[in-house]
Amino acid sequence: MADVKSKMKLGMFIRPCGHHIGSWRHPEAQADAGENFPHFVQLAQTAERGLFDMIFSADSATSFTAEPEGLHRTHYVAWIEPFTLLVALAGFTKNIGLVCTASTSFEEPYALARRFASLDLVSGGRGGWNIVTTGNPAVAENFGSEPHLPKAERYKKAQEFTEIVRALWDSWDGDAFIRDRESGVFFDTEKMHILNHHGKYYDVKGPLNVARSPQGQPVIVQAGASDDGRELAAETAEVVFTAHEELDAAKAFYTDVKGRMAKYGREPDDLKIMPGLSVIVGRTEQEAQDKFQALQDLIHPEIGVAVLSRKMGFDFSPYPIDGPVPEIPQSNVLSSRVDTLVSAAQRDNLSIRQLYQKFCSTRGHFSLVGTPSQIVDKMEEWFVKGGADGFNFIAPYLPGGLDDFVDLVVPELQRRGIYRTKYEGHTLRDNLGLKVPASRYAHKKADAVS
């Protein structure tokens, strides 16, 4: 039996009703999912039954995730705040990792470090932080009058922010708390570490008033695909969520990011790259295609154009919906996914309608429609040929899309020996095959002794 590092990793990317823009209209979807906690418990427990490494919740501190004209047709405008959700789900699960987004643009390092360290304690070492710098300018309007920073500046700020958080997570040695009733000593002062950080963006004294994590530190997740994002991932990330529709692009990204790690003293296995994967599976190919078409038919043109306009930073509404995609100017705020979408439109000669249908169904991610065997053939190809260490599963609609994947795709992965049949350990690091990070202060002590 192969070890944990040779097994495919799986994340479950939660959206309340699903990732397809028409998911909330599906007759089997939970339309009130954004306020329905038992629904999320069901999803988490199903993903755990499927032996997923983690559940992941993205976040955006605004309801304006589409153009105003189509906003009333979207379901992702009100939902349970992800961190609160994950803390609650920790009590209903045992093994699955709990990862969510928090923005370096609108958080403070100390407060964020404290929250995620606490999640790790509550869950027994299953927490993870997805670092984002936030590309949506509408978010900035909820945090004061200062303009949204350009991407390059946001990444510089994120680097310092992340370094502070990781340093704060080392505030206490694992054996710092003696709690000796007889002597009256609660902790060893030599094992408490005060940060005293003074940088360009932040001043943070420390120490963190939360004990060291059961897994050393929460897992660091990152999703940037730009050059700045790749560099940040190579330096700090332990999991990368990315988006590719073709194997060649996935392989190029995989090779590039892992190739940057050596200069930071890191090995390729220290980082798991997990592209998004949208799956619609049926017991027959026709059944799967019918499921897919039923979802596509639920995309209202108004919301299709609105979401595409928001994502690409370009207003498509004046153009004929069945006409060609116009030239799109580059943006210094929105993500590199724009280039991927424009390339797809030009390569396949897509109309605006075809492009929004493509994007709304996959959001720029790898998408598969077929039988379990057909689905796993492609997943295995990406895994074996160096395009992915696993996948971040993007269910088109919930809960049915997740149920189908766990019941039909997971057994086929297990049959081929590329996916676990039981959890390898109790922490997220155990199951991902990641090292427990040594405290930076342990290195200093070793240098002092030598």
Q: For 200-245, give the DSSP string.
A: SS-EE----SSPPBTTBSPEEEE---SHHHHHHHHHH-SEEEE--S
Superfamily name with CATH number, domain 4-172+197-297+364-435: Luciferase-like domain (3.20.20.30)
Residue 224 pLDDT: 74
Six token digits for residue 331: 């943006």
Percent helix, percent strand, percent coil in the chain, to nearest 5: 45, 15, 45
Cα 103 to its chain centre, rounded Å, is 12
**How far apart (Å, rounded) are the C-alpha atoms in residues 299 and 305?**
10
Task: Give me the torsion for CA of 376, 381, 384, 390, rounded to 10°.
Answer: -50
- Residue-level pLDDT, tens digit, the chain, 450 residues: 345 668 999 999 998 999 888 898 999 999 999 899 999 999 999 999 999 999 999 887 666 766 677 778 777 788 899 999 999 999 999 999 999 999 898 889 999 999 999 999 999 999 999 998 876 777 777 787 677 777 788 888 889 999 999 999 999 999 999 999 999 999 999 999 999 999 999 999 999 999 999 999 999 999 878 888 899 899 989 999 999 999 999 999 999 999 999 999 999 999 999 999 999 999 999 999 999 999 998 988 888 888 788 777 788 989 999 999 888 776 544 555 667 777 778 788 889 988 888 777 766 789 999 999 999 999 999 999 999 999 999 999 999 999 999 999 999 999 999 999 999 999 999 999 999 999 999 866 655 544
Q: pTM for this one?
A: 0.88
The strand ranges marked E within 371-420 are 390-394
- pLDDT, residue 348, reads 87
d(CA 298, CA 118): 41
How does strand 366-370 pair with strand 272-281?
parallel
Nearest in space to 373 (alpha carbons), one of 409, 407, 405, 401:
409
